[in-house]
Amino acid sequence: MAIENNGIVASNNLKDIEYICYDFNIPIITAPILLAFAFELKIYSKCQVNQIWKNILNNTYQKLPKQTFDEYYEELFQKDCKILLKDYDLERNMKLTNINDNKFKDKNFSN
């Protein structure tokens, strides 16, 4: 679908999708990138994002690229955006879909 609709692939399992996405120049979004944009758009505070990050590491089999969100944000976020998102304007598209409204802030996603 992403190929046919000039879409984006959401996955944290890069080794399974990256060759197809790179071959067809399809942007990839991961949980760390989404969390970073949620922080930048003030959907979540840095403290909330760090708690979500910690919960992911402690309560799931999910692997994250760094031990803390702060480390990821400072060291890898910009690089991930260039390599994985390519020219996709995620911030613009998030604003267009009203993802920054209060219905998301009311949810307790950090537990």
| Assigned domain for 24 exists | yes
Q: Does the residue 64 lie in any domain?
A: yes
DSSP code, position 68: S
Q: Taking the model in full, what pTM does it have?
A: 0.76
Percentage of the chain exceeding pLDDT 70: 76
For 22-31, write each residue's pLDDT tens digit. Answer: 888 889 999 9
In-domain check, residue 110:
no
Give a yes or no: residue 111 inside a domain: no
CA 35 centroid distance within chain: 5
Residue 80 located in a structural domain: yes
Residue range(s) defining the domain that contains residue 80: 2-105
Q: In the chain, how many domains are there?
A: 1
For residue 77, tell me if it sits in a domain: yes
pLDDT at 111: 43
Contact 72, 66 (CB under 8 A): yes
The Cα 36–Cα 89 span in angstroms is 14
